[in-house]
Amino acid sequence: MDTKDVSMIPEYGDLAVLANSRVVVGAKQLKKALANGTATQVFLAQNADPVITEPLEALCLANHVPCHWIRSMLDLGCACGIDVGAAAAAVIG
């Protein structure tokens, strides 16, 4: 199921949750967080390579973790406090 259209977060909207939480950034770290059950929310960039984001979206659905789509990698990276774009990030807890 493609959740890009139904769960889109408005640009600069709920990204504030990333600034006030413990986060992991990147596909490898996100996979680990999903595997060990620590990911509580996942954020994926719409303009990231689908080869990266689609399997992560499937893992989110399989693990019943909310998956939110962000307009750009740059927005997601900035929200995570890094100086480069990010394809994926997760709130952990």
64 part of a folded domain: yes
Looking at the domain assignment, is residue 30 inside a domain? yes
Q: Please give the pLDDT value at position 2.
A: 53
Q: Does residue 51 sit within a domain? A: yes
Examine residue 3 and state whether it is found in any structural domain, yes or no.
Answer: no
- pLDDT tens, position by position, 15-70: 778 878 899 999 999 999 999 999 999 999 999 999 999 999 999 999 999 999 99
Predicted structure pTM score: 0.83
**44 belongs to a structural domain:** yes
- Considering the domain boundaries, does residue 8 fall inside one? no
- The answer as to whether 11 is a domain residue is no
CATH number at 75 reads: 3.30.1330.30
Structure tokens that stand for 37 in this block: 């059950």
pLDDT of residue 8: 46
Q: Which of these, 15, 21, 82, 22, lies nearest to 44 by C-alpha position?
A: 15
C-alpha to C-alpha distances, 21 to 13, 29, 39, 54, 61, nearest whole angstrom: 15, 16, 11, 24, 22
- The CA-atom distances, in angstroms, between 36 and each of 11, 21, 83 are 29, 18, 27
pLDDT score, position 4: 52
Q: Structural domain of residue 86, as residue ranges?
A: 16-92
- What integer pLDDT is reported at residue 20 of this predicted model? 80
Structural domain count, the chain: 1
* Domain contains 7: no
